[in-house]
Structure 1
Amino acid sequence: MVVYAVLIAYYHSAWNRLPEFVLPEKNASVFISVIIAARNEENNINGLLQSLYAQRYPKALYEVIIIDDHSTDNTWPLLQEQRFSSMQVKPLQLQDFIEERSAIASYKKKAIETGINAAAGTLIVTTDADCRFNPMWLQTIAGFYEANNAKFIAAPVTFHNQHTLLSVFQSLDFLTLQGITAASVYKRFHSMCNGANLAYEKSAFYEVNGFNNIDNIASGDDMLLMHKIFKQYPNGVFYLKNRAAIVTTDPVTTWKQFFHQRIRWASKADKYDDKRIFIVLLLVYLLNVFFLAGAVAAFFKTTWLMLVLLLLLAKVLIEFPFVNSVAIFFGRQKLMKYFPFLQPLHIGYTIIAGWLGKFGHYEWKGRRIKK
Structure 2
Amino acid sequence: MDIIFIILIILAGLYGALMLWYRYGWQHLQPYAPPVHDINFHTKVSIIIPARNEECHILTCLEAVCLQSYPQRLVEILVVNDHSTDRTAELVKSFASKNVRLINLADHLKEGDPLNSYKKKAIETAVGLCSGDLIITTDADCVMHKYWVETLVGFYEHNGYKFIAAPVSYYHENDFFKVFQSLDFLSMQGITGAAAQLRCGTMCNGANLAYEKKAFQDVGAFKGIDCIASGDDMLLMYKMYKAYPDGIGFLKHPQAIVHTLPAEGLNAFMNQRIRWASKADKYEDKRLTAVLAFVYFWNITLFALFIAGFFHPLFWIWCIGLIIFKALTELFFLWPVAKFFQKTRLLWQFFPAQFLHIPYIIVAGWLGKFGRYEWKSRKVR
What TM-score do you get using the length of structure 2 for normalisation? 0.95
Distance 1:273 1:18 in 2: 23
Distance 1:185 1:204 in 2: 19
Match of 2:62 among 49, 72, 78: 49
Contact 1:152 1:201 in 2 (8 A): yes
Distance 2:176 2:111 in 1: 36
Distance 1:241 1:229 in 2: 20
Match of 1:244 among 244, 255, 270: 255
| 1:189-228 → structure 2 map (5 Å cutoff) | 189-228=200-239
Distance 1:302 1:315 in 2: 20
Cα offset, 1:218, TM superposition = 0.1
The SS at the match of 2:102 is strand
Match of 2:89 among 76, 96, 101: 76
C-alpha change, 1:101 and 1:168, in structure 2 (3 Å) is farther
Match of residue 14 from structure 2: 3
Match of 2:145 among 123, 130, 134: 134
Distance 2:289 2:310 in 1: 32
Match of 1:182 among 185, 188, 193: 193
Is 97-106 or 59-68 further displaced after alignment?
A: 97-106
Is 112-121 or 75-84 further displaced after alignment?
A: 75-84
Say whether residues 1:98 and 2:98 are aligned partners. no
Distance 1:172 1:32 in 2: 32
The SS at the match of 1:215 is coil
Is 348-357 or 309-318 further displaced after alignment?
A: 309-318
Consecutive unaligned residues in structure 1, runs of 5 or more: none
Say whether residues 1:308 and 2:340 are aligned partners. no
Distance 2:252 2:187 in 1: 15
The SS at the match of 2:83 is coil
Residue identity opposite 1:306 in structure 2: I
The SS at the match of 2:79 is strand
Say whether residues 1:296 and 2:320 are aligned partners. no
Give the 4+ runs in structure 1 shifted more than 3 A: 99-102
Residue identity opposite 1:42 in structure 2: E
Distance 1:295 1:327 in 2: 30
What TM-score do you get using the length of structure 1 for normalisation? 0.97
| 1:242-281 → structure 2 map (5 Å cutoff) | 242-281=253-292
Distance 2:94 2:319 in 1: 58
* 1:313-367 Cα shifts (integer Å, max 9, x gaps): 1111111111111000000001000101111210000000000001111000000
Contact 1:29 1:142 in 2 (8 A): no
Cα offset, 1:26, TM superposition = 4.4
Match of residue 80 from structure 2: 67
Consecutive unaligned residues in structure 2, runs of 5 or more: 1-11
Cα offset, 1:83, TM superposition = 2.1
Is 186-195 or 351-360 further displaced after alignment?
A: 186-195
Cα offset, 1:100, TM superposition = 7.8
Match of 2:44 among 31, 37, 43: 31
C-alpha change, 1:236 and 1:289, in structure 2 (3 Å) is same
The SS at the match of 1:238 is strand
Distance 2:72 2:116 in 1: 35
Q: How many residues align?
A: 368
Distance 1:62 1:159 in 2: 26
Cα offset, 1:72, TM superposition = 0.5
Say whether residues 1:144 and 2:155 are aligned partners. yes
Cα offset, 1:188, TM superposition = 1.1
Distance 1:308 1:99 in 2: 55
Match of residue 31 from structure 2: 20
The SS at the match of 1:19 is coil
Match of residue 331 from structure 2: 320
Contact 1:166 1:253 in 2 (8 A): no
Residue identity opposite 1:65 in structure 2: L
Is 90-99 or 201-210 further displaced after alignment?
A: 90-99
Distance 2:179 2:117 in 1: 30
Say whether residues 1:285 and 2:296 are aligned partners. yes
Cα offset, 1:101, TM superposition = 6.1
Match of residue 374 from structure 2: 363
Say whether residues 1:349 and 2:349 are aligned partners. no
Cα offset, 1:264, TM superposition = 0.3
Distance 2:172 2:340 in 1: 14
Say whether residues 1:331 and 2:342 are aligned partners. yes
Contact 1:70 1:100 in 2 (8 A): no
